[in-house]
Amino acid sequence: MPESEEPDLGTSPSRISDPRIRHEVGRALVWVGVVGAVALAVLIAKPLLVIFGAMVFAAMIDGGARLLGRVLPIGRGWRVGIVLLLSVAFFAWLGYFAGSTISEEAAQFPALIEGQLTQLAAWARAQGFNVDIGQLQNFAGNIGSGIGTVTRALGGILGGLATVVLILVIGVYVAVDPKLYERGVAWMLPRHKRHDFYITVDRMSQTMRRLMAGRLLGMVVEALFTYLMLAVVAPLVGIGAVPMAALLAILTGLLAFVPNLGAIVSGGLMVLVGFSGGVDMGLYTIFVYLFVQNFDGYVVIPMIAKKTVDLAPALVLASQLIMGLLFGILGLFLADPLLAMIKVALERRAEQAEIERQRDVASDGA
């Protein structure tokens, strides 16, 4: 009988000797890791978005503190405190103004929008279009609900209060001493990566400050011009003051924080309110909308875009739709800043790759 072979006691029973099987197992482990990473990202996406929102808020505070530093030679902590105090005072005034002046207009707003949509549906049906009035009424109800939410927010009743508080608290802590958290993140990176990290963070911070400064400037300009054109200029040209001018101005300014989509929504509301006062007033509100948006688009935005990241409008709109679908109103508001930060990071990565390529070429030539 042949002598039986002794088993290799030094080989682990879990060891795979076939290299092809080991290769497939390795690929399977990679896919498992990718799926796990995606699942983890989905699980913690909302907290990460809240943290990013805090970074955006901190950039706005930091920008205001740096601006004050040009005229007030005081410590950074004092400048941050002044910016926060002015911000609280502004929102307190806005809440009081919205609660005392805008509340009555906001109560009438849904009914006015619904009436205008009903008239629009009747006109469309008279022209031969098959329009369901019930669907338009539901649409009007959704608009009214959305406007009610905005005006309640202006009055102090904020939706998602816990999220807002977290963003504000984290943002204040970061704004007081941003270098502390920057060093903390850099400490977790390999030593040879820290220099590039500091450069990237510095560029991101500068871009974020300028982006938010431009956004705030655009909000103020659109709100101010809208109110002046609707409440002051309209009576001078013989049309009469447009109803709910203050409410429309505030909504236009707030929605200006969301590029593209915000302008479309605010313009639609303005035109609907305008046609409630007649054809002449409706045509005038269309003119006001086009004037304000063109002034912001051709004067304010280019002035800011020269010093900040230039984003393609279609790319911004796509990111807003995706982020809004995934994370709601918070994702919609943060889509543009997040896209800007991704672009800065990619530009820095391309710059590093070009430096490495030139270094390799120089070493080969030597």
Q: Element (H or E) spanning 231, and its range?
A: none
pLDDT in tens, 148-190: 444 444 443 344 567 788 888 888 888 888 888 888 888 888 8
Beta-carbon contacts of 309 under 8 Å, excluding residues fewer than 6 positions away, are 207, 211, 340, 343, 344
**Distance (Å, whole) CA 38 – CA 30:** 12
Half-sphere exposure of 174 (CA within 13 A, CB side): 25
Crossing angle for the helix pair 261-275 and 245-255, to the nearest 10 degrees: 170
295 pLDDT more than 60: yes
DSSP 32-53: HHHHHHHHHHHHHHHHHHHHHH
What is the identity of the amino acid at 125?
R
> Rounded CA gap, 83 and 89, in Å?
10
Angle at CA of residue 254, ends 157 and 51, nearest 5°: 70
CB atoms within 10 A of CB 31: 9
Q: Give the predicted TM-score (pTM) of the model.
A: 0.69
Q: Which two tokens stand for residue 29?
A: 């482990």
Task: Please give the pLDDT value at position 34.
Answer: 80
DSSP class of residue 21 equals H
Lowest mean pLDDT among 14-28, 235-249, 266-280: 14-28
pLDDT at 85: 92
Residue corresponding to tokens 């918070």 = 330
Residue 231 · residue 246 · CB < 8 Å? yes
Position 307 pLDDT exceeds 70: no
Of 260, 234, 255, which is closest to residue 245 (Cα–Cα)? Answer: 234
**Containing H/E element for 22?**
helix 19-69
* pLDDT tens per residue across span 89-122: 887 877 776 666 666 666 666 666 666 667 666 7
pLDDT over 60 at 292, yes or no: yes
- pLDDT exceeds 80 at position 26: no
Average pLDDT over residues 122-146: 58
What is the rounded CA–CA span in Å between residue 139 and residue 134? 9
